[in-house]
Structure 1
């Protein structure tokens, strides 16, 4: 059993990891809108008024009417080209605009006209012109069904959980109607912040004119009608607003809801699906759990120190995309809402014939997953992604929110970080230490202590007297520096950045109209309002070299604490009644705050280079669409085996919801890892998209060479293998950028027809070629591996072969095998039928790779074939996009001939590296000759080779085959 250690939190408390959230953060029964939604679920009824249906070129719309109140909503349905349906519900005539999420979608989706046809039983059917789907809307009660290929896949409001709190203006009444003798007066006068208990008589003496009172709750407001001042007042009846309609308390915090209740909720039924995934970020299993008996999944970006494992508490970011998968079909539900959101998941069974028209002779029970989405505010805006394959769903989501930005090559190398490297000499010593021990790395990081008193965009002049010189030194060695920049700005009139931001009105305000102040690392801080385009433009300008003194073009950026984290705020974040640009309350857009800082930082780095260089920005907080801006990591983890183990499903969940460039802090941020754990974490991190070692200031130093020669050697080997494999990783990121295919993916994505894969989360695929099996337990000497691809599944596939990349031993799909491991190895297998490009050696940074030749590993499938591709560009600029300076090469092996050809004729990049070596795995017999032909009309040349009978491995070296030329290698 691991020894339980305490760690010091950001607020100075000593806690056991995972315990902090038990008191600091809300449980679901402490969230007022969740209680209301659950209480009314199924008791609210809406009818669809089918006679109000109107169909335009872009959408169909009709009205929904509440059975009792007769309040009307407007339902819009769009058929989106590419295979998606948009369902949007808003008030028909709201008394003021409700918040609709901007900037997450990359543009208005391309829609197609829907053809309306009357259906039986009080229904109407909307048929898409292309895509083969229909939307059927029933009137009494309202029910919407999405059908594809004659099967109802998704039902909306089948459980009757549509609940839409419409905005209200409280009715005007006289003061004599106040039932309680006492009310509580909260003044929002900027000059003071008093709370006064008033009798009704005293209240009458203050009021001039009429006032509004809400009969639905114990709250009413008086606007600019006080005789003594012109202040706004919010008056609360003495007594409890038990439903939390107009105010809500949590611990010592009071959330005053100036606009009253505005929550929305709706249910979706996924017919035939029992496996669902997605909705990061949670430290939980890959497959989402049934929540009916416990807490729902919460999507509310929070700074959760040493987060509890297997918890449904929302962490640093939110992507409200859920994927359902079953044999033959994958679907997605994207709930576009950025206020606090909760999701209840239930697993039921239903009769299959009830979903497919006329009753069938034989009825069978099929699974059904029921989803109940609930958000505190905004509108209902949901997308049903129809697949049918997992990769189709990924593309459909990317068509809405954008694909992963193509990162600069250096950012795929190894990053060394610590809170904090002490000074310039410390950074130089660490840089030299990697070279002395022949360990590759590309980036060194500086945390908050590098600044002048935690004032961002500054430097501590004693620790870093000449930061530009330090960056130039790293740049000469083809390395970079990353520094932190948080959203909170130290309150200091002598701080130029604070002064300028104040003068330009760049800060979030509180409900009284004053600049909001909260506590974070510098002490009292104000928070930049990144929701404002003006503020984002101002912030981006701060990265200009003539403004950010001491910076160079070798400096890149890390956004932390941007949930936003407010140490003295409710749940350690910004109060929901703070006010942003346009008068929107923070509650409306909380989950979008970090997204906006990430965006502004990315734009700043692009502008710094006049639009020529790709940026690198890491963020802790994110939302759907953040993939367009850079990378994400999983936050403040802990040095334990459990956190290493949970990092894998966390990263897979991020990957399938669009956030492809993701990683977890190697070694754990808090506490000190034992050497074996550190080695295993390096081995796992080297097989994940973002690869950074990071640790807190309370931990012991953790550079890779501090744990003895054996452990140093194992870590060096893991990092070197990462660098050798970077051509494959970079090619995968090209596919993520162009085709929305995540570089790492759960096994069910590659083997959608094999039920055994549906819950596997400790092993995963890197692209379509490599099976990664990280070691996540102490003392392991063998790993049990289930090799998928037996060929005996409901979806026809050929028998798969798998090859151990170290021993070259071949395994057949459908077998379950124990594979021995040592401390310096981690099981990694190449799938038959694939070709993986590598570099012949690692170099000391990614810049060295440009002159190191390639080798190809050709792993044959059961038919003796294989294919793969290689993407190359300059690794740092946008020339691949603006000047078509890239090359995309396709490798195929058929009929005992390996060929290299151009996969995209638009590419103009002249790659200087050649293919030096080719290794074939799975040949039936030793060849008599290997012949190379470079181009038509060129004389064939015989090449020497080695063949190992035991492993059926053929190696051909000293080839010098030009990567950008067409050639063939024939095995006789």
Structure 2
């Protein structure tokens, strides 16, 4: 949600609003001027100006610590290794005095190694550099391998031997001493996989305790001054991905899935990809500019080598260059490596080097490796995977009841109705406007009686009002972020003068979590869930609309050091508060706008304040796919666009695509025309209703995929190349996507399109979800752009579970029967799964769930249990199997024998969709009479 209201911001920004009224066109240039570019960001400008080979550091001999880590020191090359004295803490390097850096390598199971480089904490530093806490999960730390040996090897023409250490079967790590470099290679071929500093761009600016005469550390941008009390403290280095055709990742940017080069021959005036959480409304597509969240994780893929990944755990502002071919032409090379490669340059304002190398070699391997470090996505409640209806703002209780009744009147299901800031008493969170919402509990209970929930917004800025209990407690207890002078930081946001909760402190997060109790959050009920917005954090009168970098957090940490993680800690505290509210029984639902590595453990995110245009619809797909690659499976874009008034065709197309987002929510700004699905004419209502019904039909499949993400990290929606890693035609596709391994969806992103081309990968058949017709893989097909749907296909060899009854909400579907859609491959075989639990509690962690595998081979469909090795089912479901649809089945098969009940059934022609009107009709077994939780088989003949 964006754009300050005029009554709030008029005193501060009257000239800006006058400009908007008189000259509306320049708004884009205003947005550009509001934020810094690389040349206006000193650390970025310095790092980009460095030449290959400029790193003058070398590594001392590597020792094995008692913890099984490899430890060395980095010192200037001018200090000969042979004469380095471990007690020589101050080393002259030209005119500067520098201290040795400490390098530590740790190795973990599954082909992961961690490289840390920091200043020596034993050498009297002016302060400890910030290391991001509470992101790496405890389970990962327990997979550490204790190294007991290493070996030495001469590499190329090096004068000094390098240290070689075990990483995984088939892989080894190398610490190259002079020139300094760290890389991973395959054991047999010695082909490289990943490297750091192979181009010699490593630089580490050390903290300073005080200014020397004539030094000016302050930085200025517009009217803001950053005091920088410890001087420049940036870090930069190059990372190389070998055998890569493309690199992906580092969300959040509104750009293509495959990251474009930002430096190199023919690339002029290009900015690096910026990772700095910012409140950016009406953001532009095809831009490297940073948005609301930051995940410094990059994944490479190539047909030859496969997939690898790199992650830098750092919460400071980061800028990343993807270096185009020939970027280093004419520069001296440290070592020529005759391998296909993509070079990248990583630059951060502060923090430490805390990096992770992932060897893959398959796409899903890398995602599993990354989420083993930062955690797999939380398992959502079932209702959260259904359709959400939101607007800034539903005016009052009467408006809420009207919207709710209209969904019923038009037979459109939905699960959640959302309330924005206007529901509060004067923008004070955890309160209700007593005139507009006098009976909040009754309102929530009425929705809950239909199986529906409500979400209210809670932001991190707290109104500075002494009568407001949240402010009073936070102020008295010292729970606010401080400004550089040590006073409570005071910035402007929706309530006006505001202070911001310091979420770095575990104690303060716990206090915040307590505010969600029913006693504290009066008017809340168990069916109320939470939306965290503006948590970048957004500060309307701050530099770049955010908090000053020299603001202070718990433990004396500067805001510059943790900026990108602020929203993460706020999301964490809110999510844990909802768990606490329910005494640990029910899963929370919290939507956050800002995010960081690990956010997937706490809820969903959305792509922020987009606009109602075709380009924004198109770019939503690579944005959601990139988030999934980076661990955040539960994401989506505002359907219809937050700003502006979409034409009916655009809105319909957005619903048709949005029905396949993991997070499916319609949302709009308060200045837009109302656009609930029944307001744009009868035909458009039918089309949007059909799109929403498609999502509800597929909820069993989506819920099963969310469970897969919860256990493995593999995302719900995926790039085509994740499922078809050897098909080079898929590497650059980001307008089509896979939902799980079974469905391929192609959006329509142009107005009045008459046809659409779809590349169907692989060598198997694909079945159209609407017609049942099959098409060959490995080809591009042209289809009519029907207004009724977007192209979507089921992959041959898969089995998709559905529920086809029309209900008001997902809760009312709980006991409905299932349909299995079997898409047979050329061998007349297929397989699939379904996951079922109570849809709300944490009992699934104790084994209270049903997980069935379906296989079809040799004319027999078999259901087998893959949930419980002891054979005991701890969750009971009485749901039955209503239909089995067999796409691609030969007409020679006429009957089916169902065991163990010895029931015979006729294979007849039935509708592909239960409410599909006049067909098509496909081979169907109706009412087999078996339960989804049981073992059974169906033999056709």
Residue aligning to 1:815: 779
Q: TM-score, normalised by structure 2?
A: 0.90
1:123 aligned to 2:161? Answer: yes
Task: Give the number of aligned pairs.
Answer: 875
User: Relative to structure 1, is the Cα distance of residues 410 and 52 closer, same or farther in structure 2, using a 3 angstrom cutoff?
Assistant: closer
SS of match in other structure, 2:693: helix
In structure 1, what is the Cα distance between the partners aligned to 2:403 and 2:910? 43
Q: TM-score, normalised by structure 1?
A: 0.87
Q: 1:903 aligns with which of 866, 870, 881?
A: 866
Equivalent residues of 1:40, 1:163 under 8 A apart: no
Residue aligning to 2:71: 61
1:263 aligned to 2:261? Answer: no
In structure 2, what is the Cα distance between the partners aligned to 1:704 and 1:97? 54
Q: 1:889 aligns with which of 852, 864, 868?
A: 852
Residue aligning to 1:97: 128
In structure 1, what is the Cα distance between the partners aligned to 2:68 and 2:306? 27
Once the two structures are superposed, residues 803-830 of structure 1 have per-residue CA deviations (whole angstroms, 9 ceiling, x without a partner) of: 0011111001122211123212111100
SS of match in other structure, 1:930: strand
Residue aligning to 2:43: 33
Q: CA deviation at 1:528?
A: 0.7
Q: 2:199 aligns with which of 155, 159, 173?
A: 159
In structure 2, what is the Cα distance between the partners aligned to 1:886 and 1:453? 44
Once the two structures are superposed, residues 393-426 of structure 1 have per-residue CA deviations (whole angstroms, 9 ceiling, x without a partner) of: 1110111000010000001111111111110010
In structure 2, what is the Cα distance between the partners aligned to 1:401 and 1:678? 36
Q: How does 1:536-685 map to 2 (within 5 A)?
A: 536-685=509-658
1:528 aligned to 2:485? Answer: no
1:419 aligned to 2:392? Answer: yes
SS of match in other structure, 2:325: strand
In structure 2, what is the Cα distance between the partners aligned to 1:427 and 1:319? 36
User: Relative to structure 1, is the Cα distance of residues 947 and 571 closer, same or farther in structure 2, using a 3 angstrom cutoff?
Assistant: closer
User: Relative to structure 1, is the Cα distance of residues 40 and 787 closer, same or farther in structure 2, using a 3 angstrom cutoff?
Assistant: closer
**Displacement over 6 Å in runs of 4+:** 6-10, 947-952
Once the two structures are superposed, residues 540-589 of structure 1 have per-residue CA deviations (whole angstroms, 9 ceiling, x without a partner) of: 00000011111111110000000000000000000001000001110010
Residue aligning to 1:72: 100
Residue aligning to 1:230: none
Equivalent residues of 1:412, 1:690 under 8 A apart: yes
Give the structure with higher Rg (CA).
1
Equivalent residues of 1:304, 1:316 under 8 A apart: yes
Q: 1:918 aligns with which of 884, 889, 913?
A: 884
Q: How does 1:476-875 map to 2 (within 5 A)?
A: 476-789=449-762, 799-875=763-839
1:336 aligned to 2:341? Answer: no
Q: CA deviation at 1:37?
A: 1.9
In structure 1, what is the Cα distance between the partners aligned to 2:845 and 2:420? 33
In structure 2, what is the Cα distance between the partners aligned to 1:18 and 1:682? 28
In structure 2, what is the Cα distance between the partners aligned to 1:852 and 1:19? 54
Where does structure 1 lack aligned partners over 5 or more consecutive residues?
Answer: 1-5, 171-212, 220-240, 352-357, 790-798
Equivalent residues of 2:624, 2:636 under 8 A apart: yes
SS of match in other structure, 2:324: strand
User: Relative to structure 1, is the Cα distance of residues 508 and 57 closer, same or farther in structure 2, using a 3 angstrom cutoff?
Assistant: closer
Once the two structures are superposed, residues 191-233 of structure 1 have per-residue CA deviations (whole angstroms, 9 ceiling, x without a partner) of: xxxxxxxxxxxxxxxxxxxxxx414xx34xxxxxxxxxxxxxx
Q: 1:956 aligns with which of 911, 915, 925?
A: 925
In structure 2, what is the Cα distance between the partners aligned to 1:877 and 1:19? 49
SS of match in other structure, 2:579: helix
In structure 2, what is the Cα distance between the partners aligned to 1:48 and 1:952? 71
Once the two structures are superposed, residues 818-844 of structure 1 have per-residue CA deviations (whole angstroms, 9 ceiling, x without a partner) of: 112321211110000000000022311
Once the two structures are superposed, residues 32-86 of structure 1 have per-residue CA deviations (whole angstroms, 9 ceiling, x without a partner) of: 1112222344464344344353354431011111235263111111111111121
In structure 2, what is the Cα distance between the partners aligned to 1:18 and 1:940? 68
Once the two structures are superposed, residues 730-780 of structure 1 have per-residue CA deviations (whole angstroms, 9 ceiling, x without a partner) of: 000000001111000000100000111000000000000000111111112
In structure 2, what is the Cα distance between the partners aligned to 1:269 and 1:422? 53
Once the two structures are superposed, residues 473-532 of structure 1 have per-residue CA deviations (whole angstroms, 9 ceiling, x without a partner) of: 111111111000000001111111111111111111101111100000111101111111
Deviates further, 108-117 or 960-969: 108-117
Q: 2:212 aligns with which of 211, 214, 223?
A: 214
Equivalent residues of 2:614, 2:650 under 8 A apart: yes
CA RMSD of aligned residues (A): 2.1
SS of match in other structure, 2:115: strand
Equivalent residues of 1:924, 1:952 under 8 A apart: no
Q: 2:247 aligns with which of 276, 279, 285?
A: 276
Residue aligning to 1:193: none
Residue aligning to 1:346: 323
1:138 aligned to 2:136? Answer: no
SS of match in other structure, 1:214: coil
Equivalent residues of 2:167, 2:173 under 8 A apart: no
Residue aligning to 1:406: 379
Residue aligning to 1:285: 256
Q: How does 1:332-481 map to 2 (within 5 A)?
A: 332-348=309-325, 366-481=339-454
Equivalent residues of 1:50, 1:124 under 8 A apart: no
Once the two structures are superposed, residues 238-278 of structure 1 have per-residue CA deviations (whole angstroms, 9 ceiling, x without a partner) of: xxx4xxxx110000000001111111111111122130000
In structure 2, what is the Cα distance between the partners aligned to 1:51 and 1:772? 54
Equivalent residues of 1:18, 1:309 under 8 A apart: no
In structure 2, what is the Cα distance between the partners aligned to 1:710 and 1:434? 16
In structure 2, what is the Cα distance between the partners aligned to 1:266 and 1:314? 20
In structure 2, what is the Cα distance between the partners aligned to 1:660 and 1:131? 30
User: Relative to structure 1, is the Cα distance of residues 755 and 94 closer, same or farther in structure 2, using a 3 angstrom cutoff?
Assistant: farther
Deviates further, 72-81 or 719-728: 72-81
SS of match in other structure, 1:87: strand
In structure 1, what is the Cα distance between the partners aligned to 2:433 and 2:926? 53
